[in-house]
Structure 1
Amino acid sequence: MASSNCSLPPPPIFSGENYEIWAVKMKTYLSAFDLWEVVKNEKEPPQLPANPTVTQMKNYSEEKAKRYKAKSYIESSVSDDIFIRIMTCETVKQAWDVLKEEFQGSDKIRQMQVLNLRREFEVLKMKESENLKEYNDRLMKIVNKIRLLGEELSDKKL
């Protein structure tokens, strides 16, 4: 069986703008390396039994290393100005949460952003000077911003 020599591009760089887009790309990037669960879940791997097998020791070591790999990917995917904000975080989850809180805001702030975008969506009208594609582009831009904030619009609503 032929092996696939497919290498992934470097992680997306976050410079402080468009956090939601960076976060989606970064989740996919980390998932490609089987590291997203490490970011979501701060639990340590279970301790080794009294007389571990070589396989158990290897698996334990790999699980421990995933935390450092994920943290390394997060740290290398932010600009130096952003890195300063997370460099003292002990875990990758702490670093992710600091970035999320600072650049996406609290749940209350996100809810207000969604409300504002929904209001903008409701009053959106096609301009006399624009064609259907331009109107659709403006509409989808608002819809995608709402989706990036974790809300969904039904097909009926669209």
Structure 2
Amino acid sequence: MAAPPIFQEGASLTRPPFFNGKYYGWWKNRMMDFIIAENYDLWNVVMDGPIIPTKLGADGTVLPKGRLELTPENKIALQNNAKAKNILICGLGPDEYNRISSCSTAKEIWDTLQTAHEGMSQMKKCKIDYLNRKYELFRMKDGETIQEMHSRFTSIIDEMDSLGE
């Protein structure tokens, strides 16, 4: 989860972190914090999917409510998905947007990006094994400053953390 070598973007309370296809783990953590800071319910929508308001049909089947049947609570639930989607989309460059353009929920967007950049569970395990090996063999390089070594070490730890290790 190394940070970009040349960090040009300033932090903003109103603009989500931008992802251009590089440094996914770094962006993922920043985006998670941004969404939670905006509204914790939005993060629940990203992780669990939206709440779809439903009603019982005449034959006992469960049907989605029509636009005119929504309660204020239903509208807030639907709005939370739209807000979370908007935050995620506003934080993506054109190439990443093309990857998720067919997604209809914030959860689908998040899961699609995660699969594309972290891989499926087998790929994730390989990355974790690789990072564990880098951690075990970690040594200071010739001519490297303490600050550079610390930054390199922190990058390994942060990337392992972003993969759940």
Asked whether the two chains share a fold, i.e. TM above 0.5, the reply is yes
15-24 or 131-140, which moves further after superposition? 131-140
Q: 1:38 aligns with which of 15, 32, 45?
A: 45
The amino acid of 1:14's aligned partner reads: F
- Counterpart in 1 of 2:15? 10
Cα distance in 2 for partners of 1:30, 1:36 equals 6
Q: Deviation digits for residues 72-91 of structure 1, max 9, x if unmatched?
A: 11111101111111111121
Task: Tell me if the contact between 2:50 and 2:77 (Cα under 8 Å) persists in the aligned partners.
Answer: no
Normalising by structure 1, we get a TM-score of 0.77
Give 1:141 shift.
2.4
- Counterpart in 1 of 2:89? 75
The amino acid of 1:61's aligned partner reads: K
Give the gaps of 5 or more residues in structure 1: 1-6, 50-55, 152-158
**What are the within-5 Å matches in structure 2 for residues 54-69 of structure 1?**
57-69=71-83
Give 1:18 shift.
0.8
Cα distance in 1 for partners of 2:142, 2:89 equals 47
Q: Deviation digits for residues 99-156 of structure 1, max 9, x if unmatched?
A: 11011111211111111111111122234544544433332222222112211xxxxx
Change in CA separation of 1:88 and 1:129 when aligned onto 2, cut-off 3 Å: closer
The amino acid of 2:162's aligned partner reads: L
**Larger RCO: Structure 1 or Structure 2 (Cα < 8 Å, ≥ 6 residues apart)?**
2
Number of aligned residue pairs: 139
Change in CA separation of 1:31 and 1:123 when aligned onto 2, cut-off 3 Å: same
Give 1:48 shift.
7.4
1:89 aligns with 2:97: no
Cα distance in 2 for partners of 1:42, 1:127 equals 45
Indicate the percent of aligned positions where both proteins have the same amino acid: 29
The amino acid of 2:20's aligned partner reads: S
**Pairwise CA RMSD:** 2.3
Cα distance in 1 for partners of 2:88, 2:122 equals 25
Give 1:40 shift.
0.8
Task: Tell me if the contact between 2:50 and 2:81 (Cα under 8 Å) persists in the aligned partners.
Answer: no
Cα distance in 2 for partners of 1:48, 1:121 equals 53
